[in-house]
Amino acid sequence: MFEPVLLKNVDMPDGHLLSTYEAGGGYQALQKVLREYTPDEVVDLIKRSNLRGRGGAGFPTGMKWSFVPKRADRPKYLCCNADEGEPGTFKDRIIMERDPHQLIEGLAVSAYAIGAETAYVYIRGEYVTAIRRLKQAIAEAHERGFLGTRVLGSDFNFAVHIHCGAGAYICGEETAMLESLEGKRAQPRLKPPFPAVEGLYASPTVINNVETLACVPHIVMRGADWFRGIGPNKSPGPKLYCLSGQVRKPGLYELPMGIPLRELVENHGGGPLPGRKIKAVIPGGVSAPVIAASGLDVGMDFDSLAAVGSMLGSAGVIVIDDQTCMVKVATRIIEFFHHESCGKCTPCREGLNWVVKVLRRVESGQGEPGDLEQLQALCKGIFGNTFCALGDGAAMGLRAALKHFEDEFVAHIEERRCPFH
């Protein structure tokens, strides 16, 4: 039986209070690093743990931190990506609502490691309860000396500011987020330079996801070997999986990284609804290519999912059953990306506009011979040609739907109607 670490406090009625967090050993990691570790030693510890970013791309966290220049001529910043815009994803919200001090301690330890005195939490505006609880937790932590000048009597000064987003998916893309924090329209910046070298106000800035930062205090307290020992060595640790869709027990599950997708959906999630069969699963939020039911014996980690042409992404696991039309699913997803496209680059802005038109035609039974070839050609024009990963995610997802469920697209065109109606 796997013992939850990240979710250990979330079912407690007062899990969000400092008293609960401290009673469970909270803020000991911060005390430990301030007492026993140099900043470089914390970076080294995180490197040795093989922690990889939980925002979706799985970039090694310790390596990202080590790219922050040592020069002292500019301030360094830490940004927490709490935008959580990916449909099917709700893990960061639960941490912030139910155990906000876990994130604040993660922020403090991470800021100490990279030499930052200021952190911004960029949180989506719809997360009203999470925003309220985080603000309350910051005030409590300040009062107890975990935040502020000379944290716990050390030379480390640290402040956390909350910045609420206004509902645009692109604000979760890290460089668009920096633009938004600077008060500009959120459109992605060219990378490189990566934010770790040149980020907020052109200063070195580490951007990490909420869950990534929440892992940090546990690694400090339990060690890099403990973390590396959970799941695959190259992609280890406890992992939050957001299970939704047509499954008996949807919810947030903390399990080892690398758990087979079938075990997650059938054992933990209770399998399909009565009388139904699972047809497909999207394993990592709608940016991740869909997997057909025959492919469920894959490990839920960055490398295993990449090897089968999908991705772990935000670990938003969406279950789709045999009564659902895949053309409808693909159309709704592409409509979302089209709506959220920031418009900066032509292949995404114009390409997705055309894809939506063709998909809506096919879905409504007005499709024409040649439409599937046109969709493939549009995906080719988008994939690899866009400024940020939004366009790639849309094209990859549609390609996977066309590959695994071509028969459903063909049936819509040939029968001139949706066979599911």
Ligand X SMILES: NC(=O)c1ccc[n+]([C@@H]2O[C@H](COP(=O)([O-])OP(=O)(O)OC[C@H]3O[C@@H](n4cnc5c(N)ncnc54)[C@H](O)[C@@H]3O)[C@@H](O)[C@H]2O)c1
Residues that bind ligand FMN (CB under 6 A): 53-57, 59, 81, 83-86, 169-170, 172-174, 207-209, 212, 388-390
Residue 212 binds which of ligand SF4, ligand FMN, ligand X, none (CB < 5-8 A, kind-dependent): ligand FMN
For ligand FMN, the closer CB: 30 or 342: 342
Rule CB under 6 A: say whether 180 interacts with ligand SF4: no
Q: Segment contacting ligand X (CB under 6 A): 72-80, 169-177, 274-282, 332-340?
A: 169-177
| From candidates 104, 170, 215, 282, binder to ligand SF4 by CB under 6 A | 170
Biggest CA-to-CA distance, the chain: 74
Min. distance of Cβ 284 from ligand SF4 in angstroms?
18
Min. distance of Cβ 230 from ligand X in angstroms?
21
Min. distance of Cβ 52 from ligand FMN in angstroms?
7
* Measured CA distances, 77 to 205, 235, 272, 370 (Å): 5, 26, 45, 51
Rule CB under 6 A: say whether 237 interacts with ligand X: no
Residue 284 binds which of ligand FMN, ligand SF4, ligand X, none (CB < 5-8 A, kind-dependent): ligand X
In sequence order, the 6+-apart residues with CB closer than 8 A to the CB of 314 are 54, 55, 56, 84, 86, 88, 89, 91, 242, 284, 285, 287
In sequence order, the 6+-apart residues with CB closer than 8 A to the CB of 354 are 378
DSSP 8-state code for residue 238: E
Rule CB under 6 A: say whether 388 interacts with ligand SF4: yes
For ligand X, the closer CB: 284 or 351: 284
Min. distance of Cβ 89 from ligand SF4 in angstroms?
18
Q: What are phi and psi of 162, to 5 degrees?
A: -100, 135
Number of chain positions touching ligand X (CB under 6 A): 26
Rule CB under 6 A: say whether 237 interacts with ligand SF4: no
* Structure tokens that stand for 62 in this block: 């310790």
Do the Cβ atoms of 381 and 349 come closer than 8 Å?
Answer: no
| From candidates 389, 410, 411, 418, binder to ligand X by CB under 6 A | 389
Rule CB under 6 A: say whether 191 interacts with ligand SF4: no
For ligand FMN, the closer CB: 208 or 304: 208
For ligand X, the closer CB: 312 or 358: 312
Rule CB under 6 A: say whether 383 interacts with ligand SF4: no
Rule CB under 6 A: say whether 239 interacts with ligand X: no
Name the β-bridge partners of 260. 299
Do the Cβ atoms of 147 and 160 come closer than 8 Å?
Answer: yes
SS3 sequence, 28-94?
HHHHHHHHHCCHHHHHHHHHHHCCECCCCCCCEHHHHHHCCCCCCCCCCEEEEEECCCCCCCCHHHH
238-245 and 251-256 beta bridge pairing: antiparallel
Residue 391 binds which of ligand X, ligand FMN, ligand SF4, none (CB < 5-8 A, kind-dependent): ligand SF4
In sequence order, the 6+-apart residues with CB closer than 8 A to the CB of 192 are none
Do the Cβ atoms of 111 and 119 come closer than 8 Å?
Answer: yes
Q: Which residue is nearest to ligand SF4 (CB)?
A: 348
Min. distance of Cβ 51 from ligand FMN in angstroms?
9
User: Which residues lie near ligand SF4 (CB under 6 A)?
Assistant: 170, 188, 341-345, 348-349, 386-388, 390-391
